[in-house]
Amino acid sequence: MKKVGIIGCGAIGTLISNAIEKGIIKCDELILYDRNVERAEKIRGSLHVPVTVVKSLEEMLRLKPTVIVEAASQQAVKEYIDRILTENIELIVMSVGALLDSNVKSEKVHIPSGAIGGLDAISSAMTAGVNEVVLTTRKNPKALDMNNREEKTVFEGSAREAVRRFPREMNVAATLALTTKPEKVKVRVISDPKVERNVHEIRVKWKHGDMQFKFANEPHPENPRT
């Protein structure tokens, strides 16, 4: 029996739960955990698949999920990752920024590509040698809790600094840093009232040339950061 546990019942946790409901993700039972139990109960009330709401990580672990998806926060990753891995459970980490300062190395930890693609090509380029990765992210001010009326560069620096400055908005930077090396990645964040989508432009300079990628994603209607 395949059981999927989800930690965090916000926008991402809800999207994953709905994918299970639609059969896009196959599982026999869904286990939900959120410190705000009402959010977990709200999801359960909207689904027809078997759902168990738990009140602690330990309660979730006792139900022996096949895989756990962290969709809560960097702090949740730091608090729970070691305990989950001691149970030999597969863990998908959405709050990737938490892994930049972690010493955890396990084949049980999986990092989704999230809002970007091209990671396979970038990873392959690393074998030959990557000189620099530059990520430019443009977001509407609402997604950054700002209200500027003109385009404004709000951050320039390393991937580590970007993740610390924007812990919920810059998982893309963390994913690139973990695919290459943190010191290779430079990040620029622009608050731009002209854009309605979250735009990520990636330029990679490597030994045998350049690569460029651009992704423009619709923000989640209930959480523009996502």
Mean pLDDT estimate for the chain: 94
| Tokens representing residue 108 in the block | 């049980």
User: Mean pLDDT throughout 177-192?
Assistant: 94
- Domain containing 126 equals 119-217
DSSP assignment string, 52-68 = EEESSHHHHHHT--SEE
Residue 31 and residue 95 share a domain = yes
**Dist. CA 1–CA 83, nearest whole Å:** 22
- Sign of the C-alpha dihedral, residues 201, 147, 171, 153? positive
Residue 137 and residue 210 share a domain = yes
Q: What is the pLDDT of residues 8-35, one digit of tens each?
A: 999 999 999 999 999 999 999 999 999 9
Domain count, the chain: 2
Residue 105 and residue 128 share a domain = no
Residue 69 and residue 37 share a domain = yes
Residue 93 and residue 123 share a domain = no
Residue 104 and residue 59 share a domain = yes
Asked whether residue 225 is assigned to any structural domain, the reply reads: no
| Domain harbouring 82, CATH code | 3.40.50.720
Q: Single out the residue in 110, 140, 171 at which a domain terminates.
A: 110
| Ramachandran category for residue 150: left, alpha or beta (phi over 0 → left; psi -120 to 50 → alpha) | beta
Strand 152-158 relative to strand 67-70, pairing: unpaired
Asked whether residue 224 is assigned to any structural domain, the reply reads: no
| Tokens representing residue 215 in the block | 């992704």
Q: What is the pLDDT of residues 126-158, one digit of tens each?
A: 999 999 999 999 999 998 989 999 999 999 999
Q: Single out the residue in 92, 110, 128 at which a domain terminates.
A: 110
| E-state strands within 22-163 | 29-33, 51-54, 67-70, 90-93, 109-110, 130-139, 152-158
| Tokens representing residue 109 in the block | 């930890």
Residue 96 and residue 133 share a domain = no
Residue 170 and residue 153 share a domain = yes
Q: Which residue's entry shows tokens 């610390």? A: 164
Q: Single out the residue in 110, 142, 159 at which a domain terminates.
A: 110
Asked whether residue 100 is assigned to any structural domain, the reply reads: yes
Q: Just list the catalytic residues.
A: 200
| Domain harbouring 126, CATH code | 3.30.360.10
* pLDDT band per the 50, 70, 90 thresholds, residue 101: confident
